[in-house]
Amino acid sequence: MSVLLLNASYEPLTIVSWKRAMTLMLTGRAELVEQDGDRTVRSAGGTEFPYPNVVRLMQMVSFAGMRTTETPRFSKKGLNARDNRECQVAQCDERGSTVDHVIPRSRGGSSSWENCVLMCQEHNGAKGDRTLDQLGWTLKKAPVAPKGAIVLVTARPGWEAWLQPS
C-alpha cells in the first residue's frame, strides 16, 4: 500500500511505500500524521506499530522540482488529477473515464492540457468529432495546464484533504 509523504510544512511531497514510511518514522525523520484505520504492522520481535496512511517529515526538504514553473508533461494520470476524475460537461455528475479532445484531432486538435478534458463514456460517445459549440455544451471549467512539476493523484480515500490547495 502507498503512503502520502508531507513536507514539514504539511505540503504534499510524494507517495512512498509503507515500508519507506515506516523506515522514515523509525529513524525519527518523519512522524505519523494519520493511521490507516486500526491496521498495525508487527515486527519480528512482536512489537506493533500503527500502519501509516499519511506521514510528515520532521525537517523541511527542498528540491528543484518544487521551484519549477514548467508545465508538467501531459498524461492521462495528470488529467485525472486535474479534472478530479469527473466528467467535465456541465450538469454531469458521472465519473470521467475517457479523454476527450475539445477540438477533435480530426480537425487539427492536439493532445495537450489546453485541449483535453475527461468525459463520461455517454458524453464522449455522443460528442464524436463535433465541437462543444455545435452541440451547445459547456464545460465545468476551462482546460488549462496545471502549475508546477508535481501532480499528485489521490490514490487512496482520505488523502483529498491533504492534496487540495489551502
Q: Is the pTM of this model over 0.85?
A: no
pLDDT at 151: 53
Q: Is the pLDDT of residue 21 over 70?
A: yes
> What digits encode the pLDDT tens for the residues 116-151?
999 999 999 999 999 999 999 999 999 998 875 455
How many whole angstroms separate alpha carbon 118 and alpha carbon 124? 9
pLDDT digits (tens, 9 = 90+) for 35-90: 988 999 898 998 999 999 999 999 998 865 555 566 778 888 888 888 888 999 99
Q: Residue 27 has which C-alpha cell?
A: 529513524
What number is the average pLDDT over the span 29-40?
A: 92
In angstroms, the CA 33 to CA 142 distance is 35
Indicate whether 111 pLDDT > 90.
Answer: yes
From CA 17, how far away is CA 91, in angstroms rounded? 38
In this structure, the dihedral spanned by the alpha carbons of residues 125, 128, 130 and 132, taken in order and rounded to 10 degrees, is 30
What's the confidence (pLDDT) of residue 152? 59
The CA radius of gyration of the chain, in Å to the nearest whole number, is: 20
Torsion angle in degrees (nearest 10) through CA of 14, 18, 21, 25: 160
- Is it the case that residue 163 has pLDDT exceeding 90? no
DSSP class of 65 = H
Of residues 32 and 80, more confidence is placed in: 32
